[in-house]
Amino acid sequence: MNVGIDSISLCVPESFYPLTDLAEKHGIDPNKYLYGLGQEKMSVPSPDEDIVTLAAGAANPILTDDVRASISTVILATESGIDQSKSAGLFVHGLLGIKSNCRVIEFKQACYGATAALQMATDMVRQRPDEKILIIASDIARYEQDSLGECTQGAGALAMVISANPRLLNLHHAHGTHSFDVMDFWRPNGHKAAQVDGHLSIEVYLESMRQAWSNYKDNGGHQLSELPWLCFHQPFTKMSKKAFTALKESEPQQGAELTDLSYEHSLLYGRQIGNTYTASLYIGLLSLLENNPQDLTEQNIGLFSYGSGSVGEFFSAQVVPGYRQHLRVKEHQEMLSNRQALSHEKYTSWFYQSLADHENQVMPKFSNREFRLEKVDGFRRVYGVNTPESNELKKVS
């Protein structure tokens, strides 16, 4: 029985900050960000957006009544959780009206969490093929202001439904993993921004990929020559090029056949969004499926997931015939192109002064996305659905 990804949907905030403006503020050559790191824009959430509103916004379009009725489990993967105890997925479960006979959990292992969710969900569906699992990867990637990591920030969510006989991708059984206790990136309790040893993190990422690739092959995975398309975790898109080069070097003969074409369509969305931690690999996958003009039917895609700290996993999937009919290309491309650019002042106040951390706070209305954070009441977050009328009010004011 085939099991894998049946549908995928993206949600990003309505605003972004151009990295050329950040370069000007930092007094450095913008080409460092544009070409050195391969990033153009960072997605910036408004004060009434968080990982819950983004997650609900990503999942809602792919939840038909039939799908909703067969979801047995919701797994929300994040490393920017909003509560130390309650799973953010429970807010999403409520907002989306998913039935109560359902388990809801949150997964954390830096950027790797959604891949753990995907592998677990696939095994669950293999055991109980009538069930569907909703996985949502949702994150706000935040570093200290004026740090070297600031230019790689971003925000967004990606939702996937995992099912038997999926309409987009069949996951292969083979996968290769590599775990290693290392302090390349971490976020201590009580800190909003991640701490990072940036250059170490790049080395550990690449070593993790080599080890996971070797384990994937030992576990019966495909040869590199059988994986014409590749997607790598993208903290910034240039990292994919580094990963691709390292993978080719591990397989000098087969690697010689591969060109940059094998991964470059996977960079197009991430370049416009920035790091989205758990969602980043899957936004790369979506970008490949939605932007590659070639028909990918029955072709294999190799994927590398990395979460600092660190866990890496190499796995692969095959594209299902008819996949194009089940993508939401127009909606995603419009969502990305209709965003507004922010000034430096607004970007820093939205990104670094979180009103939602107050004990009591009515959130000013900024977001016109489907779901928004309305208020915080005694540290309880209260979410609501945006109506066309409330969006109209915003336009007038």
Contact residues for ligand HMG, defined by CB under 6 A: 29, 31-32, 35-37, 79, 110-111, 148-149, 151-152, 185, 196, 198-199, 201-202, 205, 233, 235-236, 239, 275, 277, 306-308
Residue 231, exposed/middle/buried by CB under 10 A (0-12, 13-18, 19+)? buried
**For residues 205 and 350, which CB has a smaller minimum distance to ligand HMG in the complex?**
205
Q: Known catalytic residue: 111?
A: yes
Task: Give the chain's length.
Answer: 397
**Shortest distance, CB of residue 203 to ligand HMG, whole angstroms?**
9
**For residues 111 and 193, which CB has a smaller minimum distance to ligand HMG in the complex?**
111
| Cβ atoms 88, 55 nearer than 8 A | yes
**For residues 17 and 383, which CB has a smaller minimum distance to ligand HMG in the complex?**
17
- For residues 273 and 156, what is the distance between their CA atoms, to the nearest angstrom? 8
**For residues 11 and 110, which CB has a smaller minimum distance to ligand HMG in the complex?**
110
Closest CA to 106 of 71, 123, 82, 128: 82
φ/ψ of residue 136, rounded to 5:
-130, 125
Among 93, 172, 233, 265, the one annotated catalytic:
233
| Cβ atoms 266, 231 nearer than 8 A | yes
Among 11, 111, 151, 231, the one annotated catalytic:
111
**For residues 241 and 346, which CB has a smaller minimum distance to ligand HMG in the complex?**
241
| Cβ atoms 232, 259 nearer than 8 A | no
Closest CA to 231 of 240, 219, 239: 240
Q: Known catalytic residue: 226?
A: no
Q: Known catalytic residue: 191?
A: no
Tokens of 347: 């970007």
Provide the 10 A C-beta neighbour count for residue 183.
14
Q: Is 188 left (phi over 0), alpha (psi -120 to 50) or beta?
A: beta
**Shortest distance, CB of residue 21 to ligand HMG, whole angstroms?**
16
Q: How many Å separate Cα 141 from the centre of its chain?
A: 10
Residues annotated as part of the active site: 79, 111, 233
